[in-house]
A and B are shown apart, each in its own frame.
Chain A
Protein backbone atom coordinates (compact mmCIF):
# COMPACT_ATOMS: atom_id res chain seq x y z
CA UNK A 1 0.00 0.00 0.00
CA UNK A 2 1.47 3.29 -1.06
CA UNK A 3 0.16 6.57 0.34
CA UNK A 4 -3.30 5.16 0.70
CA UNK A 5 -6.06 7.63 1.45
CA UNK A 6 -9.26 6.07 2.74
CA UNK A 7 -12.39 8.07 3.49
CA UNK A 8 -15.46 6.09 4.50
CA UNK A 9 -17.70 5.01 7.39
CA UNK A 10 -16.59 8.07 9.36
CA UNK A 11 -12.91 7.14 9.02
CA UNK A 12 -10.35 9.28 7.29
CA UNK A 13 -6.86 7.86 6.84
CA UNK A 14 -4.18 9.63 4.90
CA UNK A 15 -0.81 8.47 3.62
CA UNK A 16 -0.97 4.87 4.87
CA UNK A 17 2.04 2.87 3.77
CA UNK A 18 2.37 -0.87 4.35
CA UNK A 19 4.88 -3.14 2.70
CA UNK A 20 4.34 -6.86 3.20
CA UNK A 21 7.15 -8.91 1.68
CA UNK A 22 6.50 -12.26 0.03
CA UNK A 23 6.33 -15.04 2.59
CA UNK A 24 6.16 -12.64 5.53
CA UNK A 25 3.74 -12.88 8.46
CA UNK A 26 2.75 -9.27 8.91
CA UNK A 27 0.52 -8.11 11.74
CA UNK A 28 -1.37 -4.83 11.76
CA UNK A 29 -1.85 -4.17 15.45
CA UNK A 30 -4.04 -1.48 16.96
CA UNK A 31 -6.77 -0.76 19.49
CA UNK A 32 -10.37 -1.72 18.64
CA UNK A 33 -12.26 0.77 16.51
CA UNK A 34 -9.17 2.36 14.98
CA UNK A 35 -10.11 1.27 11.45
CA UNK A 36 -7.79 -1.71 10.88
CA UNK A 37 -10.57 -3.76 9.29
CA UNK A 38 -11.30 -0.98 6.80
CA UNK A 39 -7.67 -1.04 5.70
CA UNK A 40 -7.92 -4.81 5.20
CA UNK A 41 -11.21 -4.52 3.31
CA UNK A 42 -9.73 -1.84 1.10
CA UNK A 43 -6.83 -4.15 0.20
CA UNK A 44 -9.38 -6.89 -0.55
CA UNK A 45 -11.15 -4.47 -2.89
CA UNK A 46 -14.40 -4.26 -0.91
CA UNK A 47 -13.95 -0.50 -0.55
CA UNK A 48 -12.39 1.86 -2.98
CA UNK A 49 -9.54 4.00 -1.74
CA UNK A 50 -9.76 7.77 -2.20
CA UNK A 51 -6.16 7.97 -3.37
CA UNK A 52 -2.98 5.91 -3.35
CA UNK A 53 -1.94 2.58 -4.75
CA UNK A 54 -2.32 -1.07 -3.78
CA UNK A 55 0.24 -3.34 -5.40
CA UNK A 56 0.02 -7.15 -5.14
CA UNK A 57 2.91 -9.21 -6.44
CA UNK A 58 4.19 -6.28 -8.48
CA UNK A 59 0.81 -5.61 -10.08
CA UNK A 60 -1.20 -2.47 -9.38
CA UNK A 61 -4.63 -3.76 -8.29
CA UNK A 62 -5.96 -0.44 -7.00
CA UNK A 63 -8.73 -0.29 -9.59
CA UNK A 64 -9.42 -4.00 -9.91
CA UNK A 65 -12.55 -5.64 -8.43
CA UNK A 66 -12.06 -8.07 -5.50
CA UNK A 67 -12.32 -11.15 -7.71
CA UNK A 68 -9.36 -10.06 -9.83
CA UNK A 69 -6.94 -9.22 -7.00
CA UNK A 70 -5.79 -12.74 -6.03
CA UNK A 71 -6.27 -11.78 -2.42
CA UNK A 72 -8.11 -14.03 0.05
CA UNK A 73 -10.02 -12.47 2.92
CA UNK A 74 -11.08 -14.23 6.13
CA UNK A 75 -13.40 -11.84 7.98
CA UNK A 76 -13.87 -11.77 11.72
CA UNK A 77 -17.29 -13.45 11.46
CA UNK A 78 -15.80 -15.94 8.94
CA UNK A 79 -18.94 -15.88 6.75
CA UNK A 80 -18.98 -19.58 5.97
CA UNK A 81 -21.82 -20.10 3.51
CA UNK A 82 -24.57 -21.71 5.61
CA UNK A 83 -26.28 -23.41 2.68
CA UNK A 84 -23.14 -25.33 1.67
CA UNK A 85 -21.37 -28.26 3.32
CA UNK A 86 -17.83 -27.86 4.61
CA UNK A 87 -16.37 -29.40 1.44
CA UNK A 88 -18.54 -27.21 -0.82
CA UNK A 89 -17.47 -24.17 1.22
CA UNK A 90 -13.79 -25.05 0.80
CA UNK A 91 -14.13 -25.73 -2.93
CA UNK A 92 -16.28 -22.64 -3.61
CA UNK A 93 -13.43 -20.59 -5.06
CA UNK A 94 -11.76 -23.28 -7.16
CA UNK A 95 -15.04 -24.55 -8.64
CA UNK A 96 -16.01 -21.00 -9.52
CA UNK A 97 -12.77 -20.50 -11.38
CA UNK A 98 -13.27 -23.79 -13.19
CA UNK A 99 -10.06 -25.30 -11.82
CA UNK A 100 -9.88 -29.02 -12.55
CA UNK A 101 -10.02 -31.43 -9.62
CA UNK A 102 -6.69 -32.93 -10.60
CA UNK A 103 -5.07 -29.54 -9.98
CA UNK A 104 -6.63 -28.63 -6.66
CA UNK A 105 -6.89 -32.14 -5.13
CA UNK A 106 -3.28 -32.38 -3.84
CA UNK A 107 -3.59 -29.01 -2.08
CA UNK A 108 -7.03 -29.97 -0.75
CA UNK A 109 -5.63 -33.20 0.69
CA UNK A 110 -2.78 -31.29 2.31
CA UNK A 111 -5.12 -28.66 3.77
CA UNK A 112 -7.43 -31.33 5.16
CA UNK A 113 -4.44 -33.02 6.79
CA UNK A 114 -2.77 -29.90 8.20
CA UNK A 115 -6.02 -28.33 9.41
CA UNK A 116 -7.43 -31.66 10.67
CA UNK A 117 -10.85 -31.20 9.10
CA UNK A 118 -11.25 -34.53 7.31
CA UNK A 119 -14.00 -35.71 9.65
CA UNK A 120 -16.19 -32.63 9.08
CA UNK A 121 -16.33 -32.41 5.29
CA UNK A 122 -20.00 -33.36 4.97
CA UNK A 123 -21.17 -31.21 7.90
CA UNK A 124 -22.93 -27.86 7.57
CA UNK A 125 -21.38 -24.76 9.18
CA UNK A 126 -24.10 -24.45 11.84
CA UNK A 127 -22.93 -27.71 13.41
CA UNK A 128 -19.24 -26.69 13.69
CA UNK A 129 -17.41 -25.40 16.77
CA UNK A 130 -15.71 -21.99 16.70
CA UNK A 131 -12.27 -23.51 16.11
CA UNK A 132 -13.53 -25.78 13.33
CA UNK A 133 -15.19 -22.84 11.60
CA UNK A 134 -11.89 -20.95 11.70
CA UNK A 135 -10.02 -23.86 10.13
CA UNK A 136 -12.65 -24.29 7.37
CA UNK A 137 -12.53 -20.57 6.58
CA UNK A 138 -8.72 -20.80 6.34
CA UNK A 139 -8.95 -23.82 4.02
CA UNK A 140 -11.51 -22.03 1.82
CA UNK A 141 -9.18 -19.06 1.51
CA UNK A 142 -5.94 -21.02 1.03
CA UNK A 143 -7.15 -23.40 -1.67
CA UNK A 144 -7.40 -20.49 -4.10
CA UNK A 145 -3.60 -20.03 -3.71
CA UNK A 146 -3.87 -16.32 -2.94
CA UNK A 147 -0.92 -13.97 -3.28
CA UNK A 148 -1.76 -12.71 0.19
CA UNK A 149 -4.06 -13.97 2.92
CA UNK A 150 -5.91 -11.27 4.85
CA UNK A 151 -7.02 -12.27 8.36
CA UNK A 152 -9.33 -10.01 10.33
CA UNK A 153 -9.15 -10.67 14.10
CA UNK A 154 -9.26 -14.45 13.54
CA UNK A 155 -9.10 -15.30 17.24
CA UNK A 156 -11.32 -12.68 18.82
CA UNK A 157 -14.27 -15.00 19.42
CA UNK A 158 -12.32 -18.06 20.56
CA UNK A 159 -11.71 -19.41 24.05
CA UNK A 160 -8.05 -19.31 25.20
CA UNK A 161 -7.23 -23.03 24.59
CA UNK A 162 -8.73 -22.92 21.06
CA UNK A 163 -6.93 -19.61 20.47
CA UNK A 164 -3.58 -21.20 21.34
CA UNK A 165 -4.39 -24.12 19.04
CA UNK A 166 -5.23 -21.75 16.17
CA UNK A 167 -2.01 -19.78 16.77
CA UNK A 168 -0.09 -23.00 16.17
CA UNK A 169 -2.15 -23.74 13.07
CA UNK A 170 -1.50 -20.26 11.67
CA UNK A 171 2.22 -20.68 12.27
CA UNK A 172 2.09 -24.05 10.56
CA UNK A 173 0.18 -22.90 7.48
CA UNK A 174 2.51 -19.92 7.19
CA UNK A 175 5.59 -22.11 7.06
CA UNK A 176 4.07 -25.19 5.40
CA UNK A 177 2.27 -23.40 2.55
CA UNK A 178 4.71 -20.46 2.41
CA UNK A 179 1.79 -18.08 2.31
CA UNK A 180 2.11 -14.33 2.78
CA UNK A 181 -0.19 -13.22 5.59
CA UNK A 182 -1.52 -9.84 6.69
CA UNK A 183 -3.22 -10.34 10.04
CA UNK A 184 -5.20 -7.65 11.83
CA UNK A 185 -5.57 -7.80 15.59
CA UNK A 186 -5.94 -5.69 18.72
CA UNK A 187 -4.22 -8.36 20.80
CA UNK A 188 -0.53 -7.55 21.30
CA UNK A 189 0.29 -11.01 22.64
CA UNK A 190 -1.17 -12.61 19.52
CA UNK A 191 0.80 -10.17 17.37
CA UNK A 192 4.03 -10.93 19.19
CA UNK A 193 3.59 -14.71 18.93
CA UNK A 194 2.81 -14.75 15.23
CA UNK A 195 4.39 -11.78 13.52
CA UNK A 196 7.63 -11.38 11.65
CA UNK A 197 6.83 -7.70 11.29
CA UNK A 198 4.36 -5.59 13.23
CA UNK A 199 2.82 -2.28 12.20
CA UNK A 200 0.97 -0.43 14.90
CA UNK A 201 -2.01 1.67 13.88
CA UNK A 202 -3.34 4.33 16.22
CA UNK A 203 -5.64 7.28 15.60
CA UNK A 204 -5.83 6.72 11.86
CA UNK A 205 -2.12 6.41 11.21
CA UNK A 206 0.65 3.83 11.27
CA UNK A 207 2.75 4.93 14.24
CA UNK A 208 5.50 2.32 14.12
CA UNK A 209 6.59 -0.56 11.91
CA UNK A 210 9.33 -3.01 12.69
CA UNK A 211 10.40 -6.50 13.63
CA UNK A 212 8.22 -7.79 16.46
CA UNK A 213 10.93 -7.47 19.14
CA UNK A 214 11.62 -3.90 18.12
CA UNK A 215 7.95 -2.87 18.38
CA UNK A 216 7.36 -4.83 21.56
CA UNK A 217 10.45 -3.82 23.54
CA UNK A 218 11.23 -0.44 21.97
CA UNK A 219 8.01 1.44 21.19
CA UNK A 220 8.68 4.89 19.81
CA UNK A 221 5.90 6.73 21.64
CA UNK A 222 4.48 6.65 25.14
CA UNK A 223 1.00 5.90 23.79
CA UNK A 224 2.31 2.87 21.94
CA UNK A 225 4.25 1.74 25.02
CA UNK A 226 1.06 1.89 27.07
CA UNK A 227 -0.84 -0.02 24.37
CA UNK A 228 1.76 -2.79 24.23
CA UNK A 229 1.58 -3.13 27.99
CA UNK A 230 4.79 -1.50 29.16
CA UNK A 231 4.30 -0.89 32.89
CA UNK A 232 7.39 1.18 33.82
CA UNK A 233 7.13 4.48 31.93
CA UNK A 234 8.62 7.71 33.31
CA UNK A 235 9.08 11.25 32.08
CA UNK A 236 12.77 12.09 31.88
CA UNK A 237 15.26 14.77 30.96
CA UNK A 238 18.19 14.00 28.71
CA UNK A 239 21.27 14.97 30.73
CA UNK A 240 23.93 13.45 28.54
CA UNK A 241 24.61 11.55 25.37
CA UNK A 242 27.66 9.51 24.52
CA UNK A 243 27.55 8.66 20.84
CA UNK A 244 30.72 6.59 20.95
CA UNK A 245 29.48 4.35 23.75
CA UNK A 246 25.95 4.59 22.30
CA UNK A 247 24.54 5.72 25.64
CA UNK A 248 22.02 8.30 26.70
CA UNK A 249 21.69 9.42 30.33
CA UNK A 250 18.29 10.36 31.62
CA UNK A 251 17.12 11.99 34.84
CA UNK A 252 13.85 11.23 36.55
CA UNK A 253 13.04 12.58 40.02
CA UNK A 254 16.73 12.95 40.77
CA UNK A 255 17.62 9.42 39.67
CA UNK A 256 19.92 8.94 36.71
CA UNK A 257 19.31 6.12 34.29
CA UNK A 258 21.51 4.98 31.45
CA UNK A 259 19.81 3.77 28.29
CA UNK A 260 21.04 2.38 25.00
CA UNK A 261 21.38 5.07 22.39
CA UNK A 262 20.14 3.71 19.10
CA UNK A 263 18.71 6.74 17.39
CA UNK A 264 19.00 10.49 17.66
CA UNK A 265 17.02 11.93 20.56
CA UNK A 266 16.07 15.40 19.43
CA UNK A 267 14.13 16.50 22.49
CA UNK A 268 15.40 17.33 25.96
CA UNK A 269 12.26 16.13 27.70
CA UNK A 270 11.32 12.58 26.76
CA UNK A 271 9.72 9.47 28.18
CA UNK A 272 11.63 6.31 28.89
CA UNK A 273 10.54 2.88 30.03
CA UNK A 274 11.20 -0.78 30.49
CA UNK A 275 8.93 -3.82 30.34
CA UNK A 276 8.18 -5.40 33.71
CA UNK A 277 9.58 -8.77 32.62
CA UNK A 278 12.97 -7.10 31.95
CA UNK A 279 13.30 -5.80 35.52
CA UNK A 280 15.46 -8.18 37.54
CA UNK A 281 15.55 -8.55 41.32
CA UNK A 282 18.73 -8.91 43.35
CA UNK A 283 18.29 -9.83 47.01
CA UNK A 284 19.86 -7.28 49.33
CA UNK A 285 22.45 -9.66 50.82
CA UNK A 286 23.84 -10.64 47.43
CA UNK A 287 26.84 -8.68 46.09
CA UNK A 288 26.44 -6.85 42.77
CA UNK A 289 28.52 -8.67 40.14
CA UNK A 290 31.25 -6.53 38.61
CA UNK A 291 29.87 -7.09 35.12
CA UNK A 292 26.67 -5.17 35.87
CA UNK A 293 28.01 -2.45 38.14
CA UNK A 294 27.66 0.14 35.37
CA UNK A 295 24.03 -0.82 34.67
CA UNK A 296 20.97 0.69 36.37
CA UNK A 297 20.75 -0.52 39.98
CA UNK A 298 17.99 0.77 42.28
CA UNK A 299 17.38 0.16 45.97
CA UNK A 300 13.69 -0.53 46.52
CA UNK A 301 11.19 -1.92 49.01
CA UNK A 302 8.49 -4.41 48.07
CA UNK A 303 5.07 -2.75 48.19
CA UNK A 304 2.61 -5.30 46.76
CA UNK A 305 2.42 -8.64 44.99
CA UNK A 306 -0.33 -9.59 42.52
CA UNK A 307 -0.66 -13.25 41.62
CA UNK A 308 -1.52 -13.68 37.93
CA UNK A 309 -1.63 -17.43 37.57
CA UNK A 310 1.43 -18.05 35.47
CA UNK A 311 3.50 -15.25 37.02
CA UNK A 312 3.59 -12.69 39.84
CA UNK A 313 3.55 -8.93 39.39
CA UNK A 314 5.64 -7.24 42.08
CA UNK A 315 5.42 -3.54 42.79
CA UNK A 316 8.36 -1.73 44.45
CA UNK A 317 8.99 1.74 45.82
CA UNK A 318 12.37 3.33 45.33
CA UNK A 319 13.44 3.89 48.96
CA UNK A 320 14.35 7.59 48.76
CA UNK A 321 12.04 9.03 46.12
CA UNK A 322 9.04 6.65 46.32
CA UNK A 323 8.93 6.08 42.58
CA UNK A 324 7.04 2.90 41.74
CA UNK A 325 8.62 0.14 39.65
CA UNK A 326 6.92 -3.04 38.47
CA UNK A 327 8.59 -6.40 37.89
CA UNK A 328 7.07 -9.53 36.39
CA UNK A 329 8.45 -12.67 38.03
CA UNK A 330 7.84 -16.25 36.87
CA UNK A 331 6.16 -18.45 39.45
CA UNK A 332 9.14 -20.71 39.99
CA UNK A 333 11.35 -17.71 40.84
CA UNK A 334 8.75 -16.18 43.14
CA UNK A 335 8.24 -19.46 45.02
CA UNK A 336 11.96 -20.10 45.33
CA UNK A 337 12.68 -16.87 47.17
CA UNK A 338 10.63 -15.86 50.17
CA UNK A 339 9.55 -12.23 49.56
CA UNK A 340 8.02 -10.12 52.32
CA UNK A 341 6.13 -6.85 51.98
CA UNK A 342 8.44 -3.94 52.91
CA UNK A 343 11.52 -6.04 52.33
CA UNK A 344 14.43 -4.11 50.84
CA UNK A 345 16.08 -5.39 47.69
CA UNK A 346 17.71 -4.12 44.55
CA UNK A 347 16.37 -3.88 41.03
CA UNK A 348 18.65 -4.30 38.08
CA UNK A 349 17.67 -2.87 34.72
CA UNK A 350 19.96 -3.37 31.74
CA UNK A 351 20.62 -0.20 29.75
CA UNK A 352 19.88 -2.21 26.58
CA UNK A 353 16.35 -2.84 27.83
CA UNK A 354 15.44 0.78 28.49
CA UNK A 355 13.72 2.43 25.59
CA UNK A 356 13.56 6.16 25.02
CA UNK A 357 10.32 7.55 23.61
CA UNK A 358 9.34 10.94 22.33
Chain B
Protein backbone atom coordinates (compact mmCIF):
# COMPACT_ATOMS: atom_id res chain seq x y z
CA UNK B 1 0.00 0.00 0.00
CA UNK B 2 1.31 3.42 -0.88
CA UNK B 3 1.86 6.27 1.59
CA UNK B 4 -1.29 8.10 0.50
CA UNK B 5 -3.34 4.95 1.20
CA UNK B 6 -1.90 4.55 4.70
CA UNK B 7 -2.62 8.20 5.33
CA UNK B 8 -6.25 7.87 4.28
CA UNK B 9 -6.79 4.83 6.57
CA UNK B 10 -5.31 6.84 9.43
CA UNK B 11 -7.70 9.70 8.73
CA UNK B 12 -10.67 7.32 8.50
CA UNK B 13 -9.78 5.87 11.93
CA UNK B 14 -9.38 9.33 13.43
CA UNK B 15 -12.67 10.52 11.93
CA UNK B 16 -14.38 7.35 13.17
CA UNK B 17 -13.58 8.18 16.81
CA UNK B 18 -15.14 11.61 16.27
CA UNK B 19 -18.26 10.05 14.73
CA UNK B 20 -18.54 7.66 17.70
CA UNK B 21 -18.33 10.51 20.21
CA UNK B 22 -20.77 12.76 18.37
CA UNK B 23 -23.16 9.83 18.02
CA UNK B 24 -22.92 9.05 21.72
CA UNK B 25 -23.81 12.62 22.76
CA UNK B 26 -26.57 12.96 20.16
CA UNK B 27 -28.19 9.68 21.33
CA UNK B 28 -27.87 10.86 24.93
CA UNK B 29 -29.72 14.11 24.16
CA UNK B 30 -32.20 12.90 21.54
CA UNK B 31 -33.28 9.62 23.14
CA UNK B 32 -34.26 11.45 26.33
CA UNK B 33 -36.13 14.29 24.67
CA UNK B 34 -37.87 12.19 22.00
CA UNK B 35 -39.75 10.53 24.80
CA UNK B 36 -40.25 13.77 26.65
CA UNK B 37 -43.20 16.08 25.97
CA UNK B 38 -41.75 19.59 25.25
CA UNK B 39 -45.04 21.37 25.97
CA UNK B 40 -44.75 20.39 29.63
CA UNK B 41 -41.50 22.44 29.74
CA UNK B 42 -43.33 25.78 29.44
CA UNK B 43 -45.98 24.69 31.91
CA UNK B 44 -43.33 23.70 34.45
CA UNK B 45 -41.26 26.86 33.95
CA UNK B 46 -44.27 28.89 35.08
CA UNK B 47 -44.55 27.06 38.43
CA UNK B 48 -43.22 29.20 41.31
CA UNK B 49 -40.65 26.68 42.53
CA UNK B 50 -39.08 26.18 39.10
CA UNK B 51 -39.08 29.86 38.13
CA UNK B 52 -37.56 30.67 41.54
CA UNK B 53 -34.81 28.12 41.02
CA UNK B 54 -34.10 29.55 37.54
CA UNK B 55 -34.04 33.09 38.87
CA UNK B 56 -31.73 32.16 41.76
CA UNK B 57 -29.39 30.33 39.38
CA UNK B 58 -29.26 33.13 36.81
CA UNK B 59 -28.78 35.95 39.32
CA UNK B 60 -26.23 34.12 41.48
CA UNK B 61 -24.26 32.89 38.44
CA UNK B 62 -24.19 36.42 37.01
CA UNK B 63 -23.00 37.99 40.26
CA UNK B 64 -20.44 35.19 40.81
CA UNK B 65 -19.14 35.65 37.25
CA UNK B 66 -18.82 39.42 37.57
CA UNK B 67 -16.97 38.99 40.87
CA UNK B 68 -14.77 36.26 39.41
CA UNK B 69 -13.80 38.50 36.47
CA UNK B 70 -13.28 41.49 38.75
CA UNK B 71 -10.64 39.54 40.66
CA UNK B 72 -9.27 37.26 37.98
CA UNK B 73 -8.60 39.88 35.27
CA UNK B 74 -5.98 41.79 37.30
CA UNK B 75 -4.69 38.62 39.03
CA UNK B 76 -4.17 36.71 35.78
CA UNK B 77 -2.63 39.80 34.14
CA UNK B 78 -0.13 40.00 36.99
CA UNK B 79 0.64 36.28 36.66
CA UNK B 80 1.06 36.59 32.90
CA UNK B 81 3.43 39.54 32.98
CA UNK B 82 5.65 38.76 35.97
CA UNK B 83 8.17 36.13 36.98
CA UNK B 84 8.70 35.84 40.71
CA UNK B 85 9.74 33.39 43.39
CA UNK B 86 6.89 30.99 44.24
CA UNK B 87 4.97 31.58 40.99
CA UNK B 88 4.74 27.83 40.35
CA UNK B 89 3.20 27.32 43.79
CA UNK B 90 0.68 30.15 43.29
CA UNK B 91 -0.20 28.82 39.84
CA UNK B 92 -0.88 25.38 41.33
CA UNK B 93 -2.89 26.86 44.21
CA UNK B 94 -5.15 28.76 41.83
CA UNK B 95 -5.71 25.55 39.86
CA UNK B 96 -7.11 23.76 42.89
CA UNK B 97 -10.74 24.86 42.25
CA UNK B 98 -10.40 23.50 38.68
CA UNK B 99 -9.08 20.08 39.67
CA UNK B 100 -10.59 19.45 43.10
CA UNK B 101 -14.14 18.08 43.30
CA UNK B 102 -16.72 20.87 43.91
CA UNK B 103 -18.19 18.80 46.77
CA UNK B 104 -14.80 18.93 48.50
CA UNK B 105 -14.61 22.68 47.92
CA UNK B 106 -18.12 23.05 49.36
CA UNK B 107 -17.08 21.02 52.42
CA UNK B 108 -14.04 23.27 52.91
CA UNK B 109 -16.27 26.37 52.63
CA UNK B 110 -18.79 24.91 55.08
CA UNK B 111 -16.07 24.18 57.64
CA UNK B 112 -14.53 27.63 57.17
CA UNK B 113 -17.82 29.54 57.54
CA UNK B 114 -18.88 27.37 60.49
CA UNK B 115 -15.68 28.18 62.39
CA UNK B 116 -15.68 31.01 64.98
CA UNK B 117 -13.92 33.31 62.50
CA UNK B 118 -16.33 32.35 59.71
CA UNK B 119 -19.36 32.97 61.93
CA UNK B 120 -17.95 36.38 62.84
CA UNK B 121 -17.40 37.18 59.13
CA UNK B 122 -20.99 36.12 58.40
CA UNK B 123 -22.24 38.34 61.19
CA UNK B 124 -20.21 41.27 59.91
CA UNK B 125 -20.99 40.85 56.19
CA UNK B 126 -23.87 38.54 55.27
CA UNK B 127 -25.03 34.98 56.04
CA UNK B 128 -23.38 32.31 53.90
CA UNK B 129 -24.17 28.86 55.29
CA UNK B 130 -27.63 27.66 54.18
CA UNK B 131 -28.32 31.18 52.84
CA UNK B 132 -28.72 32.70 49.37
CA UNK B 133 -25.36 34.60 49.35
CA UNK B 134 -23.71 31.23 50.02
CA UNK B 135 -24.68 30.16 46.48
CA UNK B 136 -22.67 33.07 45.09
CA UNK B 137 -19.73 32.25 47.38
CA UNK B 138 -19.79 28.59 46.27
CA UNK B 139 -20.05 29.47 42.58
CA UNK B 140 -17.38 32.17 42.87
CA UNK B 141 -14.98 29.71 44.54
CA UNK B 142 -15.45 27.16 41.78
CA UNK B 143 -15.34 29.45 38.72
CA UNK B 144 -12.60 31.91 39.69
CA UNK B 145 -9.82 29.34 39.22
CA UNK B 146 -11.23 28.51 35.81
CA UNK B 147 -11.45 32.14 34.70
CA UNK B 148 -7.89 32.83 35.92
CA UNK B 149 -6.64 29.91 33.82
CA UNK B 150 -8.48 31.15 30.71
CA UNK B 151 -7.53 34.80 31.19
CA UNK B 152 -3.87 34.05 31.83
CA UNK B 153 -3.79 32.16 28.50
CA UNK B 154 -5.39 35.21 26.85
CA UNK B 155 -2.87 37.67 28.31
CA UNK B 156 0.03 35.31 27.49
CA UNK B 157 -0.97 35.53 23.82
CA UNK B 158 -0.73 39.34 23.79
CA UNK B 159 2.93 40.40 23.44
CA UNK B 160 3.99 42.75 26.23
CA UNK B 161 5.76 44.72 23.47
CA UNK B 162 2.47 46.55 22.77
CA UNK B 163 2.37 47.82 26.35
CA UNK B 164 6.03 48.80 26.22
CA UNK B 165 5.53 50.85 23.07
CA UNK B 166 2.41 52.42 24.58
CA UNK B 167 4.52 53.42 27.60
CA UNK B 168 7.08 55.16 25.39
CA UNK B 169 4.19 56.98 23.65
CA UNK B 170 3.07 58.43 26.96
CA UNK B 171 0.91 55.81 28.71
CA UNK B 172 1.12 55.07 32.41
CA UNK B 173 1.02 51.33 33.25
CA UNK B 174 -2.74 51.61 33.95
CA UNK B 175 -3.37 53.50 30.69
CA UNK B 176 -1.40 50.98 28.65
CA UNK B 177 -3.47 48.19 30.23
CA UNK B 178 -6.76 49.99 29.52
CA UNK B 179 -5.95 51.32 26.06
CA UNK B 180 -3.98 48.41 24.63
CA UNK B 181 -4.19 45.18 26.63
CA UNK B 182 -7.89 45.26 27.50
CA UNK B 183 -9.12 45.96 23.95
CA UNK B 184 -6.83 43.23 22.61
CA UNK B 185 -8.03 40.72 25.22
CA UNK B 186 -11.72 41.66 24.83
CA UNK B 187 -12.70 38.37 23.17
CA UNK B 188 -10.72 36.31 25.68
CA UNK B 189 -12.36 38.09 28.62
CA UNK B 190 -15.81 37.66 27.08
CA UNK B 191 -15.14 33.97 26.46
CA UNK B 192 -13.86 33.49 30.02
CA UNK B 193 -16.95 35.27 31.34
CA UNK B 194 -19.34 33.09 29.34
CA UNK B 195 -17.59 29.88 30.33
CA UNK B 196 -17.48 30.96 33.95
CA UNK B 197 -21.18 31.82 33.82
CA UNK B 198 -22.11 28.50 32.20
CA UNK B 199 -19.99 26.66 34.77
CA UNK B 200 -21.53 28.68 37.62
CA UNK B 201 -25.10 28.06 36.49
CA UNK B 202 -24.39 24.33 36.36
CA UNK B 203 -22.56 24.26 39.71
CA UNK B 204 -23.98 21.64 42.05
CA UNK B 205 -21.47 20.03 44.43
CA UNK B 206 -20.15 23.07 46.29
CA UNK B 207 -23.55 24.76 46.36
CA UNK B 208 -25.53 21.85 47.84
CA UNK B 209 -22.80 21.22 50.43
CA UNK B 210 -22.65 24.85 51.57
CA UNK B 211 -26.26 26.01 51.28
CA UNK B 212 -28.35 22.82 50.98
CA UNK B 213 -31.40 22.66 48.68
CA UNK B 214 -34.38 24.30 50.33
CA UNK B 215 -37.22 24.71 47.82
CA UNK B 216 -38.18 28.35 47.13
CA UNK B 217 -35.09 29.42 49.06
CA UNK B 218 -31.67 28.07 48.08
CA UNK B 219 -32.75 25.75 45.27
CA UNK B 220 -30.83 26.26 42.00
CA UNK B 221 -31.39 24.52 38.64
CA UNK B 222 -28.84 21.70 39.29
CA UNK B 223 -30.15 21.09 42.83
CA UNK B 224 -33.68 21.06 41.40
CA UNK B 225 -32.57 18.33 38.94
CA UNK B 226 -31.18 16.32 41.84
CA UNK B 227 -34.22 16.82 44.07
CA UNK B 228 -36.67 16.03 41.23
CA UNK B 229 -34.95 12.76 40.45
CA UNK B 230 -34.74 11.96 44.15
CA UNK B 231 -38.52 12.41 44.40
CA UNK B 232 -39.09 10.50 41.08
CA UNK B 233 -40.42 13.67 39.31
CA UNK B 234 -38.72 12.89 35.99
CA UNK B 235 -40.62 15.55 33.96
CA UNK B 236 -39.47 18.34 36.26
CA UNK B 237 -35.93 16.97 36.31
CA UNK B 238 -35.72 16.79 32.51
CA UNK B 239 -37.13 20.30 32.20
CA UNK B 240 -34.33 21.55 34.39
CA UNK B 241 -31.76 19.52 32.43
CA UNK B 242 -33.09 21.01 29.17
CA UNK B 243 -32.70 24.52 30.58
CA UNK B 244 -29.10 23.75 31.59
CA UNK B 245 -28.29 22.28 28.18
CA UNK B 246 -29.80 25.26 26.32
CA UNK B 247 -27.90 27.67 28.53
CA UNK B 248 -24.58 25.89 28.01
CA UNK B 249 -25.12 25.48 24.25
CA UNK B 250 -26.07 29.11 23.68
CA UNK B 251 -23.03 30.24 25.68
CA UNK B 252 -20.65 28.07 23.68
CA UNK B 253 -22.16 29.11 20.35
CA UNK B 254 -21.81 32.79 21.30
CA UNK B 255 -18.13 32.24 22.22
CA UNK B 256 -17.39 30.57 18.92
CA UNK B 257 -19.17 33.35 17.04
CA UNK B 258 -17.31 36.21 18.73
CA UNK B 259 -13.94 34.54 18.43
CA UNK B 260 -14.35 33.35 14.86
CA UNK B 261 -13.62 29.78 15.96
CA UNK B 262 -10.23 30.67 17.43
CA UNK B 263 -10.98 30.11 21.09
CA UNK B 264 -8.71 28.76 23.75
CA UNK B 265 -10.59 25.50 24.30
Q: Indicate whether B71 reaches chain A with its CB closer than 8 angstroms.
A: no
Number of interface residues of B (CB under 8 A): 17
Query: Is B168 within 8 A of A67, CB to CB?
Result: yes
Query: Contact: A67 with B171, CB < 8 Å?
Result: yes
Question: Which of B161, B169, B171 is close to A77, meaning CB atoms less than 8 Å apart?
Answer: B161
Docked-complex contact A67 and B161, CB < 8 angstroms: no
- Residues from chain A with a CB closer than 8 A to the CB of B162 are 79, 81
Alpha-carbon distance between A66 and B168 when the two chains are bound, in angstroms: 5
Check: B164 CB closer than 8 A to any chain A CB. Answer: yes
State how many angstroms separate the Cβ of B4 from the closest Cβ of chain A: 36
Which residue in A41, A46, A79, A97 is a CB contact (below 8 Å) of B170? A97
Instruction: Take A77-B159, A96-B175 as given contacts and tell me if A83 and B168 are in contact as well, using a CB distance cutoff of 8 Å.
Output: no
State the Cβ distance, B42 to closest chain A Cβ, in Å.
Answer: 43
Which chain A residues border B184 with CB–CB below 8 Å?
81-83
In the complex, what distance in Å separates the CA atom of A79 from the CA atom of B166?
Answer: 9
Contacts of B179 in A (CB 8 A): 92, 96
A67 vs B168: C-alpha distance when bound (angstroms): 5
Most interface-central of B168, B169, B170 (chain A CB within 10 A): B168
Q: Is A185 an interface residue (CB 8 A)?
A: no
Assess whether B172 is interfacial by the CB under 8 Å rule.
yes
Chain A residues in 8 Å Cβ range of B183: 83
Question: A83 CA to B164 CA in the complex, in Å?
Answer: 16
Residues of A in contact with B, size category: 20 to 34
User: Does the CB pair B169–A140 fall under 8 Å?
Assistant: yes
Structural contact, B161 and A92, CB atoms closer than 8 A: no
Q: Which residue of B lies closest to A137 (CB)?
A: B165
- Whether A65 sits at the interface, judged by CB under 8 Å, is yes
Pair B165/A79 contact, Cβ less than 8 Å:
yes
Chain B 140-181 interface mask (CB, 8 Å, partner A; 1/0) = 000000000000000000010110111111111001000110
Query: What are 9 residue pairs bridging A and B, where the CB atoms are less than 8 Å apart in the complex?
Result: A46-B167, A65-B172, A66-B168, A72-B169, A73-B165, A79-B159, A83-B184, A96-B179, A144-B169
Give chain B's interface residues, CB within 8 Å of chain A.
159, 161-162, 164-172, 175, 179-180, 183-184
